[in-house]
């Protein structure tokens, strides 16, 4: 009984990995569009505001910046997209990056 439990615990990570198979191409294309966008240019936002309370008015701000490593390496967004889709689905994209809905190239 103890040996069976040890074997079950030892095999559990492999069962999880086996369920992480390839995803459908159309789903991979949607997911990989974000990688291509980050390869094209950084994304960010700035928020500035003020809040009033019993202690008076206080200003606040926030800056968010997301820079992809593909952008820093100067990689072509189309190549990044193709590589990502192949990695996630095991197949080439059905549509080129430029033909993807939502692509702002």
pLDDT at 7: 55
Helices (H), the chain: 2-18, 25-40, 69-72, 77-89
pLDDT at 10: 58
pTM equals: 0.67
Per-residue pLDDT of the chain (105 residues; tens, 9 = 90+): 555 555 556 555 555 544 567 999 999 999 999 999 999 999 888 888 888 777 788 888 888 989 999 999 999 999 999 999 999 999 999 999 999 998 987
pLDDT at 79: 97
Please give the Cα distance from 38 to 68 (Å, whole number): 5
Helix axis angle for 77-89 and 25-40, nearest 10°, is 150
């Amino acid at each position: 009984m103890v040996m069976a439990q040890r074997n079950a615990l030892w095999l559990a990570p492999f069962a999880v990995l086996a369920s992480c198979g390839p995803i459908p191409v159309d789903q991979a294309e949607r997911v990989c569009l974000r990688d291509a966008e980050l390869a094209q240019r950084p994304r960010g936002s700035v928020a500035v505001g003020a809040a009033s309370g019993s202690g008076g008015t206080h200003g606040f701000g926030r800056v968010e910046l997301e820079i992809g490593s593909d952008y820093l390496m100067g990689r072509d967004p189309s190549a990044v997209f193709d590589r990502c889709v192949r990695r996630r689905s095991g197949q080439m994209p059905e549509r080129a990056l430029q033909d993807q809905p939502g692509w702002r190239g």
